[in-house]
């Protein structure tokens, strides 16, 4: 957890240091009323933890690489709303339980996230424009698939969370631009499993880092 806080602080620190620079002669290219549409590839890296009853142990959730689509609307020249749309598959295991390591199966997550962003004016003649964001997330769990040997059924509760974000847009010419983005979601779920040794409940913390790189178009 300490490492995660340091990474997040470093990302935000870099973005804040950008904001302290004096803008160059480049004119702002993102303005009130603009729409940005981005297509990104995402790495979703959970920072998982769990309390599993009554068998104890912890949880392991694999990373996932997925495509993502997002939409941004500028309410002013600097304030914007962003909505991201993606779905991510994950395999989960319970480790170190009283019955050994247990394959918990496969589940998909849909984590739509709405963020309020502040976009800084271009900081160089290239038009490089960083931004910071804070948002709310509602994660939907679906397509649960259990292995059937020890775990025969699974259920995950949908849940609200919140997010912090730092990113940068770099014009490529015309209305196209390059985007790099880092988000941290705070996400928990209550999970339940039917197993060959009885009913199992788990309070699961997922808290993923979401790192994206892609291209966008301004309308």
Question: How many degrees, rounded to 5, is the angle at CA 183 between CA 180 and CA 185?
Answer: 165
Q: Distance from CA of residue 9 to its chain's centroid?
A: 16
Q: How far, in whole angstroms, is CA 111 from its chain's centroid?
A: 8
- For residue 108, what are its two tokens? 């998909």
Residue 157 burial (CB count, 10 A): 12
pLDDT number for residue 9: 53
| Total number of residues shown for the chain | 219
pTM score, two decimals? 0.83
Res 55: pLDDT: 92
pLDDT value of position 20: 47
Q: Report the distance separating Cα 154 and Cα 40, nearest Å.
A: 31
List Cα–Cα distances, 197 to 60, 106, 165, 194, 206, in angstroms.
20, 20, 42, 8, 25
DSSP annotation of 122 reads: P
What beta strand segments (E) does the chain contain?
A: 35-45, 49-53, 58-61, 64-74, 79-85, 88-97, 100-110, 113-119, 129-145, 151-156, 159-173, 176-186, 188-195, 198-205, 209-218
Helix, strand or coil for residue 82? strand
81: alpha, beta or left? (left if phi > 0; alpha if psi -120 to 50): beta
Successive 10-residue mean pLDDT values, the chain, 219 residues: 51 49 63 96 96 94 96 97 95 92 93 96 89 96 88 94 96 94 96 91 96 96
> What is the maximum span of the chain, computed from C-alpha positions, in angstroms?
68
């Amino acid at each position: 957890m300490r490492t995660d806080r340091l990474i997040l602080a470093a990302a935000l620190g870099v973005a804040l240091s950008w904001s302290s620079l004096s803008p160059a002669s480049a004119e702002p290219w993102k303005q009130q009323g603009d729409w940005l549409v981005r297509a990104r590839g995402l790495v979703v890296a959970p920072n998982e933890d769990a309390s599993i009853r009554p068998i104890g142990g912890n949880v392991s959730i694999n990373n996932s690489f997925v495509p993502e689509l997002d939409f941004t609307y500028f309410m002013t020249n600097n304030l914007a709303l962003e909505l991201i749309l993606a779905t991510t598959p994950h395999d989960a295991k319970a480790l170190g339980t009283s019955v050994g390591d247990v394959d918990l199966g496969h589940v998909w997550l849909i984590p739509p996230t709405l963020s309020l962003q502040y976009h800084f004016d271009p900081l160089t003649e290239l038009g490089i424009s960083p931004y910071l964001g804070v948002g709310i997330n509602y994660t939907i769990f679906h397509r649960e698939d259990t292995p059937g040997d020890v775990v025969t059924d699974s259920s995950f509760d949908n849940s609200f969370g919140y997010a912090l974000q730092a990113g940068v847009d770099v014009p490529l010419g015309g209305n196209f631009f390059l985007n790099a983005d880092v988000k941290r979601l705070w996400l928990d779920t209550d999970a339940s499993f039917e197993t060959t040794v009885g009913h199992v409940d788990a309070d699961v913390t997922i808290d993923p880092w979401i790192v994206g790189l892609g291209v966008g178009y301004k309308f």
